[in-house]
Amino acid sequence: MARFMRHHKEHEPPIGEIPVPHGPDTGNEHEHYPIPPATDYEKEIFKHLTHPDDSYTPEGVYWADLPLSKRFNFVSTVDKAEVSAEWSSIKSMMKEDFLGPLKWYFRHAVLPGAGLGLEGYVLFSIGNLEPLFKKAWPECWDKKAVCSDNWVASVTYLEVIGIMVGQVFVGIIGDWIGRRWGLIQDALIMFIGLLMLTGSWGVTLEGWVICYAWSLFFYGIGVGGEYPITATSSMENAVMAGKLSTRDDRLHRGRKVTMAFLMQGWGQFFNQVLLIILMLIFNRGQGDPPYSARMAQYIFRISFAIPAIGTLWLCYYRTYRMKAAGKQLLKAKKKANVTGYDVKSLKMTVTNFGGRLVATAGGWFCNDVFFYGNKLFQSQFINVLSDNPSSIMTTWTWNLVNVAVSLVGYYAASMLIDNKMYGRKMMQQVGFFMCFLMFVIPAFNYEFYVSPAGVHAFQAMYFLSSFFNQFGPNSVTFLVAGEVFPTQIRASAHGFSACMGKAGALLASVLYNYIDTQTKFYVVPWFGLAGMLMTYLWLPDTTGLDLKEQERRWQYILQGREQDYHGVAIHPKHLSVWERWMGVGKNYYPDMDMKAKIEDIKGEWQEKEASKNESETGVDDLDDGEEFTDDIHNYFRGAPPAQGGLMIKNKEEQKGSESESDK
């Protein structure tokens, strides 16, 4: 395949014929003016903004432009230095406060992911409680003698449909009214839904099932909204600092989002632990049958009441302690002169990034079929391994082990998702392929693997599928579904992709009612291959790409001058195979982009200068995390260099007086 690198000298336009960035040209032609390239002085004073050392070599070469061996060495050097710096910060924190690292983790992972943790707890509880209901009320939940089979099935269907509604609806709300409103609204809906679940009742058993199902639908709306809102707010760092373009964003953006997402796994873990404890308390200190209706009532109502307390606190926290959420969206709308929902950006996203929507929505759809199908293994090997497979405690104990394995996958994903030599796209493809193998192997030798001779291998494949689902598509889809789209419609795109994912879960839940277990194993693996193929063709790899640069390209698209953008956001590394086939990266000219980038930085500088006089408008302090040195200020004002020479300061130098823990 021909290379798509277009920055070689023989392809560059002559110096003095560089297209000047300007407004839309109604004639669809851009004039060319004889402007010189960036001077050595300009390159030097803007170097820390245009060529940060975590992405560029000292010679100014972008990491993805390096040959493979040099790229590996560069990435390894940067990562080692970053690990060393982080360990130093941890040590400094511990010297000042032994619990300092735990406090940092609480602020930067637990709080941003608290909503996902609570919904993971509740949704996992729904699945865990169903076998208990079948034992306590067999005439309704198992034999369907006094309850309609449709209403019992609707418990799952309404839950999933409610989540799908919330994902789309709150995604739009998050882009329309704002991230903070979406965060508060989700917490309130989930709190009310938990009150409904805790107090659900009926004159008859079927009446209770109906009340329970509709309560789950209402709660599901809040759950669905957590996906786009938590992803976008964590990604934009609005929860913590309101900054977007920093070294930390380039090196650790994926980790920050994944650490929030993995709280879902901790929610599942604590739910399973609590249910086991409640079982021992209310079932005579043991987990074996018989199970009384009175005991089941205590367990399920207490299990819902406890997260209701946490969700009430979440309502308070998001209302009074997260007032900065949504700054980046506010800034983007201000720049585009949009006050409501940005319909123009939505249309242009579909036009320009339609392939990315296929990748994020299709990949999530395939993943949720796998996620739902993971349960196919468990009951089969429990029947072979356990002396008492009818015991709910046996099932819950194996569930707890599986959740622990999944948590290992979550954390492994958070550690490698920002590694430039592995990253998002490779992680998702490998995860899909491994899940495919874990299902296709037992599918064609099913009788052996569910026999005593092969059950341990069957069990190992079960846990491996759990690990690679988290260390792969389940973590990556949550991140990239918002990351590859512009700020103005990020929550909407994420919500739509997540909704398509739940459509996969709904398909699986309906389909599995009509086919036997071995046939399920025949069906499920091919979704792994489909997900891997869609990832390869349509998903770009944004590992190491500054979101600020992606937003910069988006501004060019909005203004109708995409051909004038020559930066790294259209580097072949950061484009999908489909986009490269369509010629999107043909205008990648890093040398030409330098001067244009300085002009764009000047526009940001002017905006910041103007915002100093807008403190009463509510849009002040829209900081991007950029460092404008004295020389840059003087350059834009037409003044001589500060102190008679260059005064280049990076963030660490400017804050040298701060302690390591502050940094």
Domain ranges of the chain: 104-538
CATH 3.40.50.1240 correct for 104-538: no
Contacts of 554-562 spanning 24+ positions with Cβ under 8 A: 554/486, 554/487, 555/335, 555/600, 556/21, 557/348, 557/352, 558/336, 558/344, 558/345, 558/348, 559/23, 559/24, 560/24, 560/25, 561/21, 561/22, 561/23, 561/24, 561/25, 561/30, 562/352, 562/587
Give this prediction's pTM.
Answer: 0.86
**Cβ contacts of 479 within 8 Å, gap of 6 or more:** 231, 235, 254, 257, 258, 261, 417, 424
Percent of the chain, pLDDT > 70? 87
The arithmetic mean of pLDDT across residues 528-542, rounded, is: 96
pLDDT top residue among 235 and 13: 235
pLDDT tens digits, one per residue of 518-533: 898 999 999 999 999 9
Is residue 389 scored above 80 in pLDDT? no
Q: What is the pLDDT of residue 421?
A: 95
Per-residue pLDDT for 256 more than 70? yes
Q: Using one digit for the tens of pLDDT, what is the confidence trace for 233-249?
A: 877 763 334 343 478 88
Who's near 82: CB < 8 A, 6+ residues apart? Answer: 54, 251
pLDDT at residue 86, rounded to an integer = 93
What digits encode the pLDDT tens for the residues 361-374?
A: 999 999 999 887 77
Residue 381 in this model has a pLDDT that exceeds 70? yes
Mean pLDDT of the chain: 84
Dist CA 295 CA 272 (whole Å): 17
Residue 26 has pLDDT above 80, yes or no: no
| Confidence label for 56 from pLDDT (cuts 50, 70 and 90) | very high
**pLDDT (mean) for 266-277:** 95
* Greater pLDDT, 421 or 620: 421
Query: What confidence score (pLDDT) does residue 251 get?
Result: 92
Query: pLDDT value at position 18?
Result: 39
Residue 433: how many CB atoms within 10 A of its CB? 17
Higher pLDDT, residue 649 or 234: 234
pLDDT band for 341, please (50, 70, 90 cuts). Answer: confident
SS (H, E, C) 556-574: HHHCCCHHHCCCHHHCHHH
- Which range is least confidently modeled, 503-507, 588-592, 644-648? 644-648
Whether 207 has a pLDDT exceeding 50, the answer reads: yes
pLDDT exceeding 90 applies to what percent of the chain?
57
